[in-house]
Amino acid sequence: MKAPTGYELGSAYAKDRTGVLYRAVQLKLDRPVTIKALRADLEANERARELFLEERDVVTGLEHRNLLLTIDVGEIEGRPYFITESTHEPTLAEALRAGEPLRELRTVNIALGLARAIHYLDQRGLIYKNVRPHNILLPRPGAPKLVTFRYVRRIEEAKSFRGANVQSGAYCAPELVREDLGPVTIKANLYALGALLYQMLAGEPPVAGPSAEARAAHAAGKVPALKEKRPYVRQRAHTIVNRLLSHDPRRRPDPGSAVALIEAYRNDPLLTRPLKPRRKRRRR
């Protein structure tokens, strides 16, 4: 692929059903970016082009601090492309790799950013296809970003998620498996957020093991309470996790309420007040 004007093109590092991702540098600002272009082998495939342009149109309209920002769009030699912030940042998966809980304040800041992103998507009739640690960038403390490539979909497409294994098993909402629980809505994203919050607080997801087994456990409601793994976390955390992980989607909060719950947690004086060192007593 030829580099767009003002950019230095690097190597391709990933591809999906319609596009290929390239490392690149925006020369004017000397900053790393990511370019996604229609795959060369699909240039003559009208359906693939249509799907690529649909994805580009969706992500180009997004502007939120907790979503990957689209910088530019265009077409070179018949190949459409769009340019985003760099995806080569640490991920939540890397932060959780040690299997240890994250600091509580860091956990709440990450959860709040994700809740705000989900609320923003919901307000625009969109849903996120696979909320999981690998799709969450952590470029700065407390400022998570959901990767947008191929994951942001119109809510009308949510019905196709059921049974398609699009959501990683450890974070899979029951309604993605069980039709009797109602349609797939943005509340499936909130369930995944609850599972992520649980993992950040406990050091492991609610249900570990192979994806199929975890998916089945979530569908059956066999999810151990956070108190069983992390009893000493403050009660507000248990309450939020329990509500987000409600087996019945109707019992989960809506995205705006989820943001308010986590904001209240974030503003808890016991969480934000710095610890004061104890004064040593003088011996007499």
Q: Tell me: the pLDDT tens digits for 55-70?
A: 999 999 899 999 999 9
> Which helix (H) or strand (E) element contains residue 211?
helix 211-220
Residue 116 near residue 50 (C-beta atoms within 8 A):
no
Report the C-alpha gap between 27 and 244 in whole angstroms: 43
Give the confidence band of 282 by pLDDT, cuts at 50, 70, 90. low
Q: Is the pLDDT of residue 176 over 90?
A: yes
Mean predicted confidence (pLDDT) in 227-256: 93
- The set of residues, in sequence order, having a beta carbon less than 8 Å from that of 251 and lying 6+ positions away, is 243
> Which helix (H) or strand (E) element contains residue 95?
helix 92-96
Please name the fold of domain 92-270: Transferase(Phosphotransferase); domain 1 (1.10.510)
The predicted-structure confidence for 194-218, as pLDDT tens digits, reads as follows: 999 999 999 999 998 899 999 999 9
Report the C-alpha gap between 14 and 16 in whole angstroms: 7
- Hey, where are the domains in the chain? 7-85, 92-270
User: Closest by alpha carbon to 140, among 86, 73, 194?
Assistant: 86
pLDDT at 279: 56
Report the C-alpha gap between 254 and 249 in whole angstroms: 10
DSSP 265: H
Architecture of domain 7-85: 2-Layer Sandwich (3.30)
Report the C-alpha gap between 278 and 37 in whole angstroms: 58
Give the confidence band of 280 by pLDDT, cuts at 50, 70, 90. low
